[in-house]
């Protein structure tokens, strides 16, 4: 997938062309126009952490266009082609941010849950949190994002199963939510949008979680409760590791027969710190690409857990950390024009039939009788949420970044702007031109001491109708 560009007057309004919606074919994401298999080069994006989601004050990570423009421009230079967003308010307008990321050639992977009460499944007692009001909110997230062409998919749950105890009760409810979301999308969206699960990389329950969600009840491959994709938050590659030392070889062996796409929904161990991101070359190599569909680096904005690539300050300014340049350099070592131009195999993988023998861990749920749709929820599935959020790609009058951004050496970047890509183009590392951002880092810019791997959150998602023609800014990074 190569990027095309055209010149536009700085500040001139453009309606960005749409990225091509992706389809699930067997165990691959596929560009429906080119027929190429798609590898996710993703970034976890949750500005402000949990505090960045504040419905009472009309605030979530995709509600401020200027901030999205700032971060999309920086991620575009980095080479990101997808963002994962955890906590979103379906009642806010996300048109500007969705349009900016679309113009930059980036897809959105969206969690439909949030940490707030009543907005996610309770892993301790999932039957208490699975009711019509909860589902209504998840459907509202779908409504808010289903019409954006760059909505890649939705996560029905994130790390809800993290041990055998939760594995005993939670799986049927996550699968029920998956069923309800897919039925809602079937009734109210103009295309199929994948729904899946983001798992904790806890090996005691990982394989059983995957099998529980990918299998077909009664052998029906069209079973609506079956996940369309499976992802894992994995931090097993730390520092100068290797395919075998990290256990990546075990993950490839585990998922090689997957009937759905598998990818890292989070990766990037921060021990040692600063990070070296040596796993990048392996993730996008022949060793893994036949089984995995890429991954999402955790995370964009620096928080207390010390996984950020950038310090995003309250006044809108940004200080890039050394991890940004390190990751960028690792991406540059990969031939992404080759990675993203591999034709899909078109192999139809038959999912395993759901049966008790599929589950290996003693105590993990092996019953595939799912909870019935809660009272009142079927009416919402049939007729839609009310009031109904909506989203559409909008015209962006100016793609230039207004906020001050400094590299890891403290040097200010100038001429920073999102470069709108041509129709059907997707962002690729190195395709927007070499940035003059320093790859070095000052002592004060190094990341803090390492911490344990983070626990993910949950969120919203969406999508919209294709657009027209995209033009491209000639402005790039320069130091002043």
- List all residues 6 or more positions away from 413 whose beta carbon is below 8 Å from its beta carbon: 405, 406, 407, 437, 477, 478, 479, 480
- Cα–Cα–Cα angle for 91, 92, 97, rounded to 5 degrees: 140
Using DSSP, state whether 200 is helix, strand or coil: strand
- Residue 72's pLDDT is 98
Question: What are the C-alpha distances in Å from 344 to residues 33, 81, 158, 222, 283?
Answer: 12, 18, 28, 21, 18
Q: Are 39 and 1 contacting, i.e. CB atoms less than 8 angstroms apart?
A: no
Dist. CA 243–CA 237, nearest whole Å: 8
Q: Are 146 and 154 contacting, i.e. CB atoms less than 8 angstroms apart?
A: no
Q: Are 267 and 298 contacting, i.e. CB atoms less than 8 angstroms apart?
A: yes
Spans of the chain, pLDDT less than 50: 1-14, 435-480
CB atoms within 10 A of CB 24: 18
- Residue 348's pLDDT is 84
The encoded tokens of residue 140 equal 């509202």
The encoded tokens of residue 38 equal 């798609």
* 294 φ/ψ angles, rounded to the nearest 5 degrees: 90, -155
- Residue 420's pLDDT is 96
- Cα–Cα–Cα angle for 39, 45, 32, rounded to 5 degrees: 30
- Cα–Cα–Cα angle for 405, 406, 411, rounded to 5 degrees: 140
- Residue 49's pLDDT is 85
* 310 φ/ψ angles, rounded to the nearest 5 degrees: -145, 140
CA dihedral 462, 464, 470, 474 (to 10 degrees): -20
pTM over 0.85: yes
Q: Which 3-state string (H, E, C) describes 259-300? A: CCCEEEEEECCCCCCCCCCCHHHHHCCHHHHCCEEEEEECCC
Q: Are 139 and 383 contacting, i.e. CB atoms less than 8 angstroms apart?
A: no
The catalytic site residues sit at 159, 266
Q: Which helix (H) or strand (E) holds 195?
A: strand 195-200
The 10 Å CB-count burial string (b at 16+, else e) for 231-254 is bbbbbbbbbebebeebbbeebbeb
Region for 400 from its dihedrals, namely left if φ exceeds 0, alpha if ψ lies in -120 to 50, beta otherwise: beta
Tokens 């344990």, residue located: 452
Q: Are 479 and 416 contacting, i.e. CB atoms less than 8 angstroms apart?
A: no
CB atoms within 10 A of CB 473: 23
- Residue 430's pLDDT is 82
The encoded tokens of residue 371 equal 């909870």
Q: Are 424 and 19 contacting, i.e. CB atoms less than 8 angstroms apart?
A: yes
Region for 67 from its dihedrals, namely left if φ exceeds 0, alpha if ψ lies in -120 to 50, beta otherwise: alpha
The encoded tokens of residue 147 equal 């019409």
* 14 φ/ψ angles, rounded to the nearest 5 degrees: -135, 145
Q: Are 197 and 231 contacting, i.e. CB atoms less than 8 angstroms apart?
A: yes
- Residue 18's pLDDT is 77
- Cα–Cα–Cα angle for 197, 199, 204, rounded to 5 degrees: 135
């Amino acid at each position: 997938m190569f990027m095309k560009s055209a010149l536009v007057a700085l500040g001139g309004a453009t309606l960005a062309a749409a990225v091509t919606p992706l389809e699930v074919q067997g165990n691959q994401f596929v560009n429906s126009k080119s027929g190429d298999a798609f590898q996710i080069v993703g970034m976890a994006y949750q500005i402000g952490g949990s505090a960045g989601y504040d419905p009472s004050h009309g605030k979530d990570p995709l509600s401020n266009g200027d901030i999205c423009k700032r971060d999309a421009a920086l991620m575009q230079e980095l080479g990101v082609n997808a963002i994962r967003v955890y906590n979103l308010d379906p009642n806010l307008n996300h048109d500007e941010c969705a349009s900016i990321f679309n113009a930059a050639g980036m897809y959105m992977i969206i969690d439909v849950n949030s940490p707030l009460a009543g907005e996610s499944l309770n892993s301790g007692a999932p039957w208490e949190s699975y009711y019509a009001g909860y589902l209504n909110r998840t459907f509202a997230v779908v409504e808010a994002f289903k019409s954006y062409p760059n909505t890649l998919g939705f996560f029905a749950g994130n790390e809800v199963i993290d041990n055998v105890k939760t594995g005993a009760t939670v799986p049927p409810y996550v699968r029920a939510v998956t069923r309800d979301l897919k039925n809602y999308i079937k009734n109210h969206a103009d295309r199929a949008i994948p729904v899946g699960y983001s798992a904790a990389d806890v090996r005691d329950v990982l394989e059983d979680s995957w099998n529980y969600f990918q299998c077909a009840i009664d052998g029906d491959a069209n079973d609506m409760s079956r996940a369309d994709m499976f992802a894992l938050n994995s931090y097993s590659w730390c520092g100068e590791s290797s395919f075998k030392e990290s256990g990546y070889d075990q993950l490839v062996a585990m998922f090689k027969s997957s009937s759905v796409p598998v990818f890292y929904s989070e990766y990037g161990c921060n021990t040692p710190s600063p990070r070296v991101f040596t796993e990048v070359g392996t993730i996008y190599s022949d060793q893994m690409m036949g089984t995995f569909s890429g991954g999402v680096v955790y995370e964009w904005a620096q928080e207390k857990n010390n996984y950020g690539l950038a310090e995003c300050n309250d006044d809108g300014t940004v200080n890039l950390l050394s991890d940004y340049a390190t990751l960028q350099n690792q991406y540059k070592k990969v031939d992404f024009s080759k990675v993203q131009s591999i034709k899909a195999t078109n192999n139809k993988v038959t999912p395993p039939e759901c049966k008790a023998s599929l589950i290996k861990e003693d105590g993990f749920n092996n019953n595939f009788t799912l909870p019935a749709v809660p009272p009142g929820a079927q009416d919402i599935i049939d007729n839609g949420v009310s009031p109904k959020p909506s989203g559409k790609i909008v015209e962006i009058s100016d793609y230039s970044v207004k906020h001050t951004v400094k590299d890891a050496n403290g040097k200010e970047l100038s001429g920073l702007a999102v470069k709108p890509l041509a129709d059907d183009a997707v962002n690729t590392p190195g395709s927007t031109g070499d940035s003059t951002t320093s790859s070095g880092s000052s002592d004060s810019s190094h990341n803090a001491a390492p911490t344990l791997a983070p626990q993910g959150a949950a969120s919203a998602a969406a999508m919209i109708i294709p657009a027209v023609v995209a033009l491209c800014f000639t402005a790039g990074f320069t130091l002043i």
